Structure 1
Amino acid sequence: MNLVEEIKKLKKEKGALILAHLYQRPEIQEIADITGDSYFLSKKALESSSNLIVFCGVRFMAESAKILSPHKKILLPAEESRCPMADMALIDRLEDLKKEHPKAKIISYINTNLDIKAVSDVCVTSSSALKIMNNIKEEEIIFLPDRNLGEFIAEHFPNKKFILYQGFCPTHERVEPWDITELTEKHPTYEVLVHPECKKEVRDLASFIGSTSEIINYATNSPSKGFVVVTEEGVLYQMKLKNPDKEFLPLNNSMICPNMKMTNLQKLYDCLLNESNEIIIDEEMRLKAHRALENMHKLGDD
């Protein structure tokens, strides 16, 4: 059986929309209708006329799509695919922080599960965080779950007090400065593109710091012909597709998220065929989480 052809056939029969995060396997990105960052994909699900959405990513991403589109059927091909960083954010620990800092505003990275979004004042993405923070008046901020992104934001707002939850992305956290310098010593003209989920000593070596999509756009618009890419290696597929004349070097310390790679063509086919692994969320929780996403829009406007 040719899985690619069968998936295309099912997609057409069912009027489904297939979304794939930029960290997914190349063959998943290739068959998807739309690729992009998690929140971008959630918005595309909302805007689509399709009522059947297959979200190739991890669970919090499919949840975000369901929060925005409660009337649509959202499917997650790899039911077991979760985000380790999102799972580090525990509601009881957040409640303890809130008791210690009652005046603080709770800002959560979109890479969080439903229960955390539901008690957050606003969500941010790695690309919108600085703009949103500019529009927040409170001087005390609880930021979770990623301490590295939180630290990156805090560097831009020295007059605010940041209480950082000690979560992290295992894929980005394990990068060390020498992983980069061993490549830049051989390629001194190459620009270094770094995701803000990396540690400060890694960010300090960057030519550019940005979200997954921002890194791809920067590389596309830059006159440079070579780049060291310091984020999950799934982005290389789109980078090479958009820039066949440029060279993109991943780190020798392989940056692969095993959770993002759980989705494969067989799971995508089975999910679409059986309409299985549907995302079901509590409506009261959904409404609370929706407010945090709404505030992200309001505070992110120029």
Structure 2
Amino acid sequence: MNTREMQDEIMRLKREKNICILAHAYQSHDIWDVADYVGDSYGLSVQAADAPADTLLMCGVRFMAETCKILSPEKKVLLANPAAGCPMAMQMDREKALELKEKYPGLPLVAYINTTASLKTVCDVVVTSSSSVKIIHRMPEKEILFVPDCNLGGWISDQLPEKTLHLVKGGCPTHMRMTARDVQAAKAMHPEALVLVHPECLKEVVSLADYVGSTTGILRYAEESDAKEFIIGTESSIVSHLQFACPEKRFYLLSRECVCHNMKMTTLPDVLLAVRGIGGEEIHLSAQTIRDARRCIDRMIELGG
């Protein structure tokens, strides 16, 4: 089968079986084309909860599929490639989080949504990169324990000097591979280009950027900007997506190291096998895990909308 034939078969089967396909923004464009919704991990989960589908197929990584199950426990949730995980999500588990809560008694524990369902059961609030500043600003507490991404946490701290965030060492390996030297080299090659980076990047990279924001924020900024050239400091697939969306503009990858190997694991044939019912992995969470993990997500919705 060629790409178009495979996509046509996926579209036929998802309609026949009432399957909603969710694609994270870091997925390849051939997967975007068959998806019902494309976006960040939380946005996809919210869309999925409202979708009139019996089955949700997540083209992303495991914690994203878990979040879908937490928000849609009555639906069947599949992860297209069972091996696709998130290194940052595995940097802290429930036990380590409980140890931190003992070390900082009385402080609310705020977790980046890029964490496991198990860890979320002991968190007070979760945040996304796009909602983190708004949510933490609205929290009444002045001191906050933030896990696991110290780069995102440091960026939040810079935006909210009235808050004290206690951070732990952790973060996204893909974004941490980008350096200030990469920015300087890219600017030397493309002096007219604006630099757009994700707040998961190192502070030395963020400080040199023209815009710092979530993946969806970067996409929106580049599409709406009057500028014609951009250096993109997040997962490499975003350059490809922007080239499709804005063929009249030029997009350059900040570094050849901007690759999330876990996101790249999911392929169009994986999606086909999953909708055929012979691939993917169904996500199972206990009722107690769903109930306990849902509390911090509901708190995020309450504070951030």
Are the aligned partners of 1:175 and 1:198 in contact in 2 as well (CA < 8 Å)?
yes
| Number of equivalences | 301
Q: Aligned residue for 1:72?
A: 75
Q: Aligned residue for 1:109?
A: 112
Are the aligned partners of 1:104 and 1:139 in contact in 2 as well (CA < 8 Å)?
no
Q: Aligned residue for 1:295?
A: 299
Q: Does 1:273 align with 2:270?
A: no
The runs of at least 4 aligned residues of structure 1 exceeding 3 Å deviation read none
- Helix, strand or coil at the partner of 1:79: coil
Partner of residue 36 from structure 2, selected from 33, 39, 45: 33
Q: CA deviation digits over 1:50-85, x for unaligned, max 9?
A: 111111000000111110000011111101111000
Q: Aligned residue for 2:286?
A: 282
Deviation at 1:8, TM superposition (A): 1.7
Q: Aligned residue for 1:144?
A: 147
Deviation at 1:90, TM superposition (A): 2.1
Q: CA deviation digits over 1:241-276, x for unaligned, max 9?
A: 221111010124331101001111221111111164
Q: Does 1:202 align with 2:208?
A: no
Q: CA deviation digits over 1:110-169, x for unaligned, max 9?
A: 111001111110110000001001111112211111110011111122232211121110
Q: Aligned residue for 2:57?
A: 54
- Alpha-carbon RMSD across the aligned residues, in angstroms, is 1.2
- Helix, strand or coil at the partner of 1:227: strand
**CA distance in 2: counterparts of 1:57 and 1:151, whole angstroms:** 26
Residues 250-269 of structure 1: pairs in structure 2 closer than 5 A: 250-269=253-272
Partner of residue 158 from structure 2, selected from 155, 158, 173: 155
**CA distance in 2: counterparts of 1:15 and 1:190, whole angstroms:** 44
Deviation at 1:239, TM superposition (A): 1.4
Q: Residue type matched to 1:300 in 2?
A: G
The percentage of counterpart residues that share the same residue type is: 42
Uncovered stretches (5+) of structure 2, i.e. residues with no partner: none
**CA distance in 2: counterparts of 1:299 and 1:10, whole angstroms:** 39
Q: Aligned residue for 2:16?
A: 13
**CA distance in 1: counterparts of 2:75 and 2:152, whole angstroms:** 32
Q: Does 1:174 align with 2:172?
A: no
Q: Does 1:92 align with 2:98?
A: no
Residues 220-231 of structure 1: pairs in structure 2 closer than 5 A: 220-231=223-234
Uncovered stretches (5+) of structure 1, i.e. residues with no partner: none
